[in-house]
Structure 1
Amino acid sequence: MFTMKLRKATVAIATGLTLSLVLTACGGGSGSGDDSGNKITIGIKFDQPGVGLKTSDGKYTGFDVDVATYIAKELGHKAEDIIWKQAPSAERETLIRNGDVKFVAASYTINDKRKAEVSFAGPYLMAHQDLLVRADETSITKAEDLNDKKLCSVSGSTSAQNVKDRLAPKADLQQVGGYSECLTGLENKAYDALTTDNSILAGFAAQKEHQGKFKLVGLSLSDEPYGIGLKKGDTELQGKINKALEKMQKDGAWEQAIKANFGPANYKNDPAPPITETS
């Protein structure tokens, strides 16, 4: 009786092991390439039309989204593999350091301070600080024209402070919680101009409800090279992303994404910048 029970137990264990091996061979595990193992998490902005925006129906649009999707594809991920994670400006380095994202594409200007904490690939876009005014505005053609005029930007904006400190010290700077408030005030003539990166301004101006109401002045008050942020020292990923960006420029997808996201605002973009972040 004991021998029979032992034999049954041995058969049960062997059957279980065989079934386990079959399931693993059929993709039942979590290895790379299946539904769980091939996901990639990417940090973007959720509140910048034309750049990175989560729409009311849960979709993600914008130039940064298009660039990130292209990079993900070159890294072996389909669009449906991407998990989009909100990356507010103040949290980008933390998200990268903690491994919460594979990389960040979020109007992320490359500078020495940030490079002390993270690495970058790119740049993939050269933005410039500019001014957005009403379409019929003719008295503002340069930064100095903002003296004694009402300038709007978001709280803590370095762009607004740049104008206030260096370019138009007598500007009446109004800082609010979000760019949408600035746009409403600009349309209602509560403000005379809005300032931030031209790519962000173009994205807002290109929205269907804003088309024809605003225009970019066309100034280059600063250089803002946008890069892909990644974990410090990850030269392997940096090299792969740089190759993807170069391919995107060469096959026309970069220019197509520019026109699709910024075209309605008559955004005069710089040519695709050369890749400089290589170590």
Structure 2
Amino acid sequence: MRFRRISTTLAGASVLALSLAACGTAEVGGGGGGEGEGEGDRITIGVKYDQPGLGLLEGQAPVGFDVDVATYIAGELGYSPEQIDWTEAASANRESFLQQGTVDMIVATYSITDERKNVVDFAGPYYVAQQDILVAADNDDISGPEDLDGKVLCSASGSRSANNIVDSEEDGGLGIGAELREAGNYSECLELLGNGTVDAVTTDNTILAGFAAQNPDAYKMVNNPFGEEKYGVGLPKGSTERCEEINAAITKMWDEGVTTEYLETAFGETGFAYAEEQPAVEGCA
């Protein structure tokens, strides 16, 4: 898969623009069916509210790459931006929201895993991220996961990013002896990193790039990616037809070059190298 480093032509937008990422584009759908052509009058979509560049609450509405992707997909399903009800979907409650009918779908850096597929359905992936590490801006001791041995590592509740580092190789991890500190979300991890309670934060490079760009004087990515995280659109179990519709929308979004526009808008001048090509969508059960 080819990667492209984010263009520096967005220099004027830089850090301030990131926290406002996609503010305008969040209301642009995919140009699919007109108002009222969806299955109901409205659609409820779960996104993150605390991840700069991906899903960040600005005023009354969230903005970011995932929000733009969700708005495009909703447009292809026949819902205008005005027919979308946004709901905060933290990592720990994504499955329960889908199982309980709190949301119709979730677009929230939701990695497709076999374990999760036992209880929910996924369309996509619409993007494949890699895992990386965020440290304090003046930390030169940590340049990769191998340097986390004996260090305190933070990850958000409901995420398995830290386990990818500390679990044994037999269990699919790297077997590195870091001490885990779990926080409610990644904003809390950033607070712990800022006050020195933890030495590093680990999760997807998309998430970390947003936080690093929001406060570059305080934090930096080590830019040593590893692993793979396939971002899917979470759906209630048994949503085969809707899954196929969303996969078609994802393919169209990439074919039209809209996904690249969203990535450029969302991440600004972060140095984050994003994937240029659509990942292969997985079959719908």
TM-score range, shorter chain: 0.7 to 0.9
Residue type at the aligned position of 1:146? L
Unmatched 5+ residue regions in structure 1? 1-31
1:97 touches 1:231 (CA, 8 Å); kept in 2?
A: yes
Output the CA distance in 1 between the equivalents of 2:191 and 2:147. 21
User: Aligned residue for 1:33?
Assistant: 36
1:64 touches 1:106 (CA, 8 Å); kept in 2?
A: yes
Task: Tell me the CA shift for residue 137 of structure 1.
Answer: 3.4
User: Aligned residue for 2:282?
Assistant: 276
User: Aligned residue for 1:108?
Assistant: 110
User: Aligned residue for 2:124?
Assistant: 122
Q: Answer with 95-104 or 240-249: which moved more.
A: 95-104
| Residue 81, structure 1, aligned to residue 86, structure 2 | no
User: Aligned residue for 1:93?
Assistant: 95
User: Aligned residue for 1:54?
Assistant: 57
User: Aligned residue for 1:230?
Assistant: 235
Aligned length: 244
User: Aligned residue for 1:42?
Assistant: 45
User: Aligned residue for 1:254?
Assistant: 259
Output the CA distance in 2 between the equivalents of 1:243 and 1:157. 28
1:51 touches 1:64 (CA, 8 Å); kept in 2?
A: yes
Q: CA offsets, 1:209-231, max 9 Å, x none?
A: x1354222223333210101113
Q: CA offsets, 1:120-144, max 9 Å, x none?
A: 1100111222101233433322211
Output the CA distance in 2 between the equivalents of 1:74 and 1:241. 8
Output the CA distance in 2 between the equivalents of 1:249 and 1:212. 34
User: Aligned residue for 2:219?
Assistant: 214
1:183 touches 1:194 (CA, 8 Å); kept in 2?
A: yes
1:147 touches 1:168 (CA, 8 Å); kept in 2?
A: no
Q: CA offsets, 1:101-125, max 9 Å, x none?
A: 2211111111112212222110011
Q: Cα RMSD (Å) of the superposition?
A: 2.5
1:161 to 163, 167, 175: 163
For the structure 1 residues 174 and 114, does the alpha-carbon distance in structure 2 shift closer, same or farther, using more than 3 Å as the test? closer
1:52 touches 1:62 (CA, 8 Å); kept in 2?
A: yes
User: Relative contact order, CA 8 A, sep 6+: which one is greater?
Assistant: 2
Residue type at the aligned position of 1:119? D
For the structure 1 residues 181 and 83, does the alpha-carbon distance in structure 2 shift closer, same or farther, using more than 3 Å as the test? closer
Task: Tell me the CA shift for residue 81 of structure 1.
Answer: 0.9
Output the CA distance in 2 between the equivalents of 1:175 and 1:98. 25
Output the CA distance in 2 between the equivalents of 1:151 and 1:94. 26
Q: CA offsets, 1:223-245, max 9 Å, x none?
A: 21010111323222111111111
2:36 touches 2:78 (CA, 8 Å); kept in 1?
A: no
Greater fraction of residues in helix: 1
SS in 1 for 2:208: helix
Output the CA distance in 1 between the equivalents of 2:158 and 2:234. 22
Output the CA distance in 2 between the equivalents of 1:217 and 1:96. 34
Query: TM-score, normalising length from structure 1?
Result: 0.77
Output the CA distance in 2 between the equivalents of 1:185 and 1:229. 30
2:91 touches 2:185 (CA, 8 Å); kept in 1?
A: no
1:175 to 161, 182, 185: 182
2:201 to 194, 197, 200: 194
Query: TM-score, normalising length from structure 2?
Result: 0.76
Unmatched 5+ residue regions in structure 2? 1-34, 169-173
